[in-house]
Structure 1
Amino acid sequence: MDRFQGYVALVTGGARGIGAGVVRRLVAEGARVVVADVDEEAAREAFVGVEGVRVVRCDVGETDSVAAAVRYAQEVFGGLDVLVNNAFASEQGDSPAFEDDPEGGWRDQLDVTLLGAVRFSRAALPLLAAAGGRGSIVNIGSVNAEADFGGHAYSAAKAALASFTRTLAGDAAPRGVRVNQVNPGTVATRGWETRQEQLDALAERVYPLGRVGTPEDIAAAVAFLASTDAAWITGTTLRVDGGLLAVNRHFAEVVEG
């Protein structure tokens, strides 16, 4: 498919994992893509030799850095049609008890995961509005926004992102820009590299479709929402979770004895 022929996209946090998967999917469908990542070296290594990809160092926590990344997309490719807000603050180690959860972690999650998307959306909206009706923002959320899977600050930030998706959709619609969100379940990315046994157990006992997700699964959903195939969809959150939230396998096992 060439749904994005002639399109320009910008993906935040695109050096690895879901972000990298999204970049590759959009490029495969014809887009030219700017990868905005705080780890510029990793992003360049990930896409060395990939035609149509440009890399810019960007800290989504800094307004000037965000504005510079959007300007870069306009300078090198002439505009912007699609923004994918994928960058988030990663959590290290086990989640502490709520009363021991440091306030700094909450600030990091809100500043990067939520406000990073706010900053980029604000900076990009004029260009997206000038995209002739094909402007689109896709935010990467999480099933943590909808149910308790641990991580107070991360979950709260992702839930706030879903609310922001809805309110921005209403604001942007008159300007011809759609805003949607994808909520992934467990995705096999670098953060799970040392926990393969846990991934296998999740696939076997938790996920109705019998496996965890891949970056390509999420990228496919992002590409759909960003494309004109979703031209009458805005303000929605699409679960891409292998049935995790729809089916309670443990409940069924107990009831069935």
Structure 2
Amino acid sequence: MTAMRRFEAHGILITGAARGIGAATARRLAQEGAHVLVTDVDLGEAEKTASSIRELGGSAEAFICDVADRTSVEAAVAHAVHAFGSLDVLVNNAYGCTPDAPLFEDEPDEVWARDLDLTLTGAYRCSRAALAHLVASGRGAIVNIGSVNGLQDFGNHAYSAAKAGLMSLTRTLAGHAAERGVRVNLVAPGTVRTTAWEGREADLEALRELYPLGRVGEPDDIAAAVAFLASRDAAWITGTTLCVDGGLLSVNARFRRENRQDSGV
């Protein structure tokens, strides 16, 4: 079957794209015809991802981008526009997530500030730098990568607050950008098997039982949702949060199993 080519000649910038969800998204969008700028603070790993895309016949470049630095963000956006001729899609994927202190009152200010800066303010910086170019493209779209943590308590105070803030920014920016022809949406993943879980396979296996669809997510699951929201297939969708979570937020799988056992069903 021939792959869809919904992003033929589109210029796309993805942050935090060296690994995991960002890398999978870069591969998916390049497969559909996009020119992808793979940005990350780890330029070496970003180049590996870009190189793997080119080996498969796709169009990709690597570029260093620290979303905590306005100059770095603006340089990445300018490079994408120069290299590809336009910037049509921005995917805000970079984030920070620091493990919680055992007691909330022991959380350092620096941890809170860093996670919010990378996860929420970083997306703000990138969107601000990109917006005029997305307007000029005539088909601009922003897809933010959120989390179920922004909707329900799964721990990580700063990260969760930042992801909830990113959902709010998605709505307010969607309202602002709609009359300028730019759509803004958010994908909220559940647990996804990325390099962040390396060495913790037993934890992933335990989490699998909490998901109604019987497994944790894969980066390609999220990439597929991003591709939909970034494409013209979602031309009448803006300001929305799309949960890609295996049913986690809608069904309490463990409770249902236990209730069946207790009731003899």
With structure 2 as the length reference, what TM-score do the two structures score?
A: 0.93
Tell whether 2:252 aligns with 1:248: yes
Q: Is the 8 A contact 1:139 1:165 kept in 2?
A: yes
Percent of counterpart pairs with the same letter?
Answer: 60
Paired residue total: 254
User: SS where residue 48 of structure 1 aligns?
Assistant: helix
- Equivalent positions of 1:22-33 (< 5 A) are 22-33=25-36
Q: Is the 8 A contact 1:129 1:177 kept in 2?
A: yes
Equivalent residue, structure 2, for 1:4? 7
Equivalent residue, structure 2, for 1:164? 169
Task: Report runs of 4+ in structure 1 exceeding 4 Å deviation.
Answer: none
Change in CA separation of 1:249 and 1:214 when aligned onto 2, cut-off 3 Å:
same
Aligned partner of 1:69 among 49, 63, 76: 76
Equivalent residue, structure 2, for 1:197? 202
Q: Is the 8 A contact 2:204 2:216 kept in 1?
A: yes
Q: Is the 8 A contact 1:95 1:151 kept in 2?
A: no
User: SS where residue 47 of structure 2 aligns?
Assistant: helix
Tell whether 2:88 aligns with 1:85: no
Aligned partner of 1:116 among 118, 122, 132: 122
Cα distance, 1:6 vs. partner?
1.2
Tell whether 2:154 aligns with 1:149: yes
2-structure distance, mates of 1:159, 1:14: 21
Q: Is the 8 A contact 2:47 2:62 kept in 1?
A: yes
User: SS where residue 175 of structure 1 aligns?
Assistant: coil
Quote the RMSD (CA, aligned, Å): 1.1
Deviations 1:90-139 (A, max 9, x none): 32x5653211111111101111100000000000000000112x100000
2-structure distance, mates of 1:125, 1:184: 24
User: SS where residue 179 of structure 2 aligns?
Assistant: helix
Gaps of 5+ in 1: none
Aligned partner of 2:210 among 206, 209, 218: 206
Equivalent residue, structure 2, for 1:128? 134
Letter of the 1:178 partner, please give it.
Answer: R
Gaps of 5+ in 2: none
